[in-house]
Amino acid sequence: MQDYHSKLETRLIRYCEVDTQSDEESPTSPSTAIQLNLAKILAQELEAIGAQEVHITDYGVVLATVPATAEGPVIGMLAHMDTAPAYNAVGVKPRVIRGYNGGEITYPDAPGLVNSPARNPYLGEKVGHDLITASGATLLGADDKAGVAILMTLAEHLIANPDVPHGKVRLAFTPDEEIGRGVDARLPADLGADFAYTLDGGAVGEIEYESFSADGAKVKVVGVSTHPGTATGKMVNALHLAAKIIDMLPQATQTPEVVEGREGFWHITNIAGTAAEVEFSIILRDFELDGLAARGEMLQQVCAAVAATEPRATITCTIKPQYRNMRYWLEKDMTPVDLARDACRDAGIEPLSVPIRGGTDGSRLTEMGVPCPNIFTGMQDIHGPLEWVSVQDMAVATDVCLRLLTRAAKA
C-alpha cells in the first residue's frame, strides 16, 4: 500500500480549520456562503495537481476530472464539504494524537470531557494509530472532510502515476449534505458518471448500500397573545400546545436515544418561538416506506388531536420528502457494491455491509438514476466534540478506492 499518511493528515487538518457549517433554515444554495471558502481552496488544489475540467457550479459543487488511462466505466467519487449544524463548528483546532496508546483521550478546551475504548470499542482497535480529533469545544469535521482528503489524495496519486490503469474519474465535492440538500437536480447530468461512490462512511470495511428513508416535518403553532396580567379566558399559549404535541409523541420507544439496528425514529432537531407562536422541526426516519409513512401519519394525528382541544389556536404540520433508501435501486443491480467489496478483499479486508442509520448524497443520487453506494473513511463519534478519525484508516480507504478503480478498468 502506498504511504498516503502525511498528505492525508495535512489535508484533513487544513480542511477542518475552514468553517463550512450548513444551515437548514437558509433558502440559498449552498445554504451558507462559507462553504464556498473551502470550495475555492479545493478547486485551486485540483488545478495545482493537474486535474481537468475543474469548476464550481452555481449550486456550489466542485467538479473535476481525472482523465482515463484505460478503458472502463466513468466512475464518480463524491464527498461533502459541509459540517453538521448539530454542534459548534467555529474555531476548530485539530490536533494529532501520535501513536495512540489505547487509554483515555482528554480535551484541552473541555475539562472533564473524555473518550475511551470503554465508550467506543472501535477506538480500542486503533492502538499505535495516529488519531486526529478536535480540542473539545467543537466538532472536528472529519464528517466528511476525511472523505474530501481521501479523494484529493487519490486524485493526486492517479495524476502523478499515469501508468495506473483506470477509467475516467469524476470528482464531486458537494455542499449541504448534512441538511439533505447536497444533490442538486442538475448534479447527475453534470457528474456524467455511469455509477458513483460517496466516501462518507465509518469503520474500515464498511460498504453500505442501505440507508434510511427520510422525511422532514415543520410544525407551527399559533396561539392567542395577550398581556398575562389580563389573560384569563383570553390567552392561548403556543408553547403549552407545542409541549403537548411533543409529549404525546412516543418517546420511550421511537426516539434516536432508545432505538438501534433497523428501527426508525422521530427526532426534534430544533424549536423556537414565544407564547404567541412556536415552530419546531422534526425528522422522520425508517428503512421502509410504509414505516416512514406511518410515522408521518402519527405526527399529523397528534397535531390534529391537540388542535381539537383548542379551536382558537392554529396548528399546521407540513411534511416533505428528503431522501429514500438507496437499497430500493441498488438491489436491482449490485455491480457497484460488488466492485467495492472485491476491492476491499484485494486489500486484505473483509467487507461489511450494514444499514446506514442516516443518509448520504448517495441516497439522493441513486434515487435520481446514478447508483451510488457508500465507502468507509474511518470517521467516528461524528457530530459532536468527541469526533475523531485514524490517519491509517483513511490510508486504507484511499488504497481501497485505488484498487476499485483499477479493478473496474480490468473488468
Residue numbering of the annotated binding site for Zn(2+):
80, 143, 178, 200, 383
Which residues fall within 8 angstroms of residue 170, CB to CB, at 6 or more apart?
63, 64, 65, 74, 75, 76, 77, 191, 192, 193, 196
Catalytic one of 130, 177, 206, 399: 177
Catalytic residue, from 82, 156, 206, 381: name it: 82
Residue 190 designated active-site: no
Between 5-16 and 391-410, two packed helices, what is the crossing angle to 10 degrees? 110
Give whole-number Cα distances, 248 to 57, 151, 242, 317, 319, in Å: 44, 45, 10, 15, 18
Are 313 and 221 within 8 A, CB to CB? Answer: yes
Nearest to 112 by CA among 102, 104, 121, 123: 104
What DSSP designation does 206 have? Answer: B
Our answer to whether residue 163 is catalytic in this structure is no
The cell for 221 is 403553532
- Per the rule left: phi > 0, alpha: psi between -120 and 50, beta: everything else, 233 is left
Amino acid symbol at 151: L
Binding residue positions: 80, 143, 178, 200, 383
Residue numbers annotated as active site = 82, 177
